Chains A and B, each alone.
Chain A
C-alpha cells in the first residue's frame, strides 16, 4: 500500500515537472503574472486616489506649487496640443469639405468639423499630448525621487508624500486640462475654416454659421467634463506609477512606460464611457 502510494506520488511529481516545462504552462504563468500586475496597479491607483481625496480634506494644498504645476500642464503642453488638433482638423476639413460642397451640403461642413472637434478630437488629442509630455515627466520625476530616497526623506520628516506631491499635480491637471481643451477646440475650428475655404471655396460666414447651428451647450458641457476627468486621471495615474518605482534607472523607465500606457488606455476607456452615456 505504502509503495503503491509512493509510486503514484512519484509519477505525479514527474508529471508536474513535465507540465511546468511545457509552453502552455509558461504562457499561462506569464498571463497570470500580467493579470496580477494589472490588479496590483489598479489597486494602487485607487488607493492613491483615495489618499489624495483624504488629503484634500485635511490640508490646503501649497498654492505656489500648484501654480508651478498648472503652468507645466497648461503652457508646456499647449504648443504640441494646438499643433496636433490644428493639423487633424485641417485634414478632416480637407477630406470632407470638397465632397460636401459638391453634394450641396456645404452648409454642414462647419457643423461636422465643430462637432467632431469639440466632442472628440480636441479632448482626446490634448489627452494624448499631455500624457506624452506631462504625464511621462510627472512619472519619471516622482520615480526618480523614489529611487533616490527623496520620498523616504519626506516620510521621515513626517510629511505625507501623497499629499505633498500628488495634491498640487492632480489639482493642476484637473483645472488646466479643460482650459487647454477649450483653446484647442477654438483653434481647431478656426483651422478647419481656413482648410475648408482653401479646398472648396466655402465662405467663412457659411462655415461659422454652420458651426453655431451645429454646436450646443450639451456638447460643450460634455467636452469640459471629459477634459476634467482626463486631467485628473492622467495626473493620478502618472503620479501613482512614479510612486511605485524601484530598482534604480531601470525602475524609472518602467514606471514612465507604465504611466504612459495606463493613461492612454484609461482615457480611451473614459472616452468610450462618455460617448455611451452622454450622446446616446
Chain B
C-alpha cells in the first residue's frame, strides 16, 4: 500500500500551510511533490516522518521504517562515514547490540557500494563533495531497509551531472528496496527522470495531480506556468 494521506491539514501560527491534502503512493512508486517555495512541500515530508504533528487528517503507512534524505544531507559532522551510516544500527534502542562489528562493516560496505562510494568509511563529511555527502545520506537512509523513503530536494545545490547521478540513484534505490518514495523537488529533470506521479501544491491545496507526461502537456494554467517557469500565471509569488 505504501503511503496514503487523507485530508491532511497543518497550520503554523494560524496560517494554513496544508489544507485538505490527499494523495496515495504505492510500494515501488515515486511521487514527486512540486510547488513554490513555502507551499508546504517539506512540511508534508516532516508530517509523514513524524517530525511535526498534523492538525487533522490521516497518514496511513505500510508500517516498517520511514527514512528521510534531507536537503543538505544532514550528516553528523563529528562522525565518520561508517558511524554515520551505521548510526541507527548502533544507537537505536531496538537494534543496539544486534549486530557485531563485522556485520556492521559488511552492511555499511554493501550500502556504500549501492550508492557507488565503496571504501570511504573512514572519511568525515567535511572531506566529501556535496554530491558524495548526498549519496552517503542515501546510504544512511536505507540502512534499516525502510518501506518508505522521503527525499527533500535531493538535487538542490548540485551541478547538473551530480544531479543526474543522484536521480539515477533515487530510481536504483526504488528498484532495490521497492519502497514507496516521495521526492520534493523544483527541478523538471528530477521529475521527468524519477517520478511515477506528480502532485503540485499551491496556497495550501493541490492544484495538479497526474503523471510527469501530463504535467509536461501543460493542459492547465498551473502546469503551464510551472513547466514554462513563467512569472505571469495563476500562481503568484509572495
Contact = CB atoms under 8 A, between A and B. Distances in A.
A62 B92 CA distance: 12
B156 interface: no
Interface stretch (A18-26, A34-42, A155-163, A172-180): A155-163
Nearest to A159: B91
* Number of chain A interface residues as a range: 10 to 19
A158 B46 CA distance: 14
A194 interface: no
B54 to A, nearest CB: 16
Interface stretch (A5-13, A107-115, A144-152, A222-230): A144-152
Contacts of B77: 150
Given A58-B93, A59-B93, A152-B51, A157 B74 contact: no
B36 interface: no
B68 interface: yes
Interface string B146-176: 0000000000000000000000000000000
B49 to A, nearest CB: 5
Contacts of A152: 46, 51, 68, 70, 74
A164 B94 CA distance: 14
A154 B79 CA distance: 13
A153 interface: yes
Interface string B86-103: 011001111010000000
Contact of B76 (A153, A156, A158): A153
Contact of A149 (B67, B74, B94, B144): B74
Size category of the binding interface on chain B: 20 to 34
A159 B87 contact: yes
Contacts of B140: 153, 157
A156 B91 contact: no
Given A148-B74, A149-B74, A155 B88 contact: no
A172 to B, nearest CB: 15
Interface in A42-97: 58-59, 62
Contacts of B93: 58-59, 158-159
B11 interface: no
Nearest to B49: A156
Contacts of A153: 68, 70, 74-76, 140
A145 B79 CA distance: 12
B72 A156 contact: no
B65 interface: yes
A158 B88 contact: yes
B91 A164 contact: yes
Interface string B9-51: 0000000000000000000000000000000000000100111
A149 B70 contact: yes
Nearest to A150: B74
Given A149-B70, A149-B72, A157 B49 contact: no
A149 B71 CA distance: 9
A197 B142 CA distance: 68
B87 A156 contact: no
B111 to A, nearest CB: 14
A149 B42 CA distance: 13
A62 B87 CA distance: 12
A209 B136 CA distance: 64
B115 interface: no
A126 to B, nearest CB: 26
B41 to A, nearest CB: 15
B66 interface: yes
A157 B70 contact: no
Contacts of B46: 152
Interface in A225-277: none
A59 B67 CA distance: 23
Given A148-B72, A149-B71, A150-B74, A155 B51 contact: yes
A150 B76 contact: yes
A158 B74 contact: no
Nearest to A156: B68
Nearest to B137: A153
B92 A158 contact: yes
25 contacts: A59-B93, A145-B76, A148-B72, A148-B74, A149-B70, A149-B71, A150-B75, A152-B46, A152-B74, A153-B74, A154-B76, A154-B87, A156-B49, A156-B50, A156-B51, A157-B91, A157-B92, A157-B140, A157-B144, A158-B93, A158-B94, A159-B87, A159-B88, A159-B91, A159-B92
Given A59-B93, A152-B46, 8 more contacts: A59-B96, A62-B91, A148-B72, A149-B74, A152-B68, A153-B140, A156-B50, A156-B66
